[in-house]
Structure 1
Amino acid sequence: MSLPAIVKAPATVRTATSEVHNVIKQRILDGHYQAREYVREASIARELGVSRTPVREALRELVSEGWLEAIPHHGARVVAWTEKDAQEVFELRLVLEPMAVRLASERMDRTHLAHLETLASRMEALVERIELEPEVRNEIALLNHEFHRELIAASDNQRLAAVLDSVVRTSVIRRNFGNYDLANLRRSMRHHREILEAITANSPTWAENVMRSHLLAAQALHVRFPDLPDEPPVASG
């Protein structure tokens, strides 16, 4: 995946650092950088057309935020999402996201609801293509992230949305749909559709409960299939 070079404004190293930070983080979320893959300072600087200083600062920030880990004498690599990470993330989501959906169902306008319905329809169509076109998983993951983000934003609670943003970004996009077979994906799409039906019916409790079921189903898949350990797999059979 190629990205346009960053154009350095006459601004500051801070601006360049922010831009580099955003590019690397998005690449992690998109799956361009895989778990335990090293992100090389020199390569990034050359590719994005910036000096190594903002790249170095961006890598430090991403390490402090938990996206990368610093390996002595080797550099920074993408952190793998472990079963413990999955447990912690879903513990938070199961408390906060149903709350956000309840608020959203009470405050959402027709324009916002129509946008969510469009996202749901696009995902449903892609799911039916997945057996012949496995690459559409990436597009489903991005649309799914947008669906959850827009649903949370409709809660009109900025603090709740801010807390959930980093949590949901990690678990909704990062290596998400690789764990889902067609039946799991269809169930996930049905949950999305039912949440929208509950909102249309002005039933916050219904919407909240469907979101909780949706998250419990996702939690079961993430906990059953954490990132693989460092050791090579043992041949079976």
Structure 2
Amino acid sequence: MPSPTSKMKRSGAAFPTGAIVFAATALTLALTGCTRLETTAPSAVRATDVQARFGTVDCREVKCIALTFDAGPSEHSARLLDILKEEQVPATFFLLGKRHIDTYPELVKRMADEGHEVASHTWTHRRLTELSPDEIREELEHTNTEIERLTGRRPTLMRPPQGRTDDTVHDISRELGLSEVLWSVTAKDYQTTDSDLITERVLAQSSRDGIILLHDLYDGTVPAVPGIIAELKKRGSSS
């Protein structure tokens, strides 16, 4: 869908259109009745007003960047949460169940308590397009149930493993109240532990409106996050 223009506002005062907004994905990608939500940009929905940490913004006009992290929580997630807290930047965590949610339940709670969006990346990371409908439901429902048990809130977003989806996956996701969210920027951080390279890849692909895919379970990713945030903020304030 195209991105029309509007204004960015905070308590009635206009913010510079060059500013950048780090938006928690669920606040941006609301269930708005779109027939499909294989979304790759925060503005690519009908409802684009976002309740950011400093007020309401319109992602069709300002730079809305969604930081998303897949396949956690992990041993690196606590440090990542510290960084996000220091930078006052929200993120969306697409969590895996087996060996992740069930290993680090306290981090799942912390993510929610600190204002981040907790979403589903399935229970075992199997390719949903290769599963039966019942198996797809089990992958999604098991994860939803555990996240709700730990956070008190049922997920409304899911990211299919490897981004693989089809009509069956889509229909079952909608049936369970889940929107599928893909991405527009990837560092392929599963290929390298070089934090500088991860930073370079993200910044080379990031524009005014996008969803960044990272994985907090890999050694090189979390050390790259401060530099990514700093440069995106710099670009936002100077553009």
TM-score (norm 1): 0.25
* Structure of higher CA gyration radius: 1
TM-score (norm 2): 0.25
Q: Which has the higher helix share?
A: 1
Q: Which has the higher strand share?
A: 2
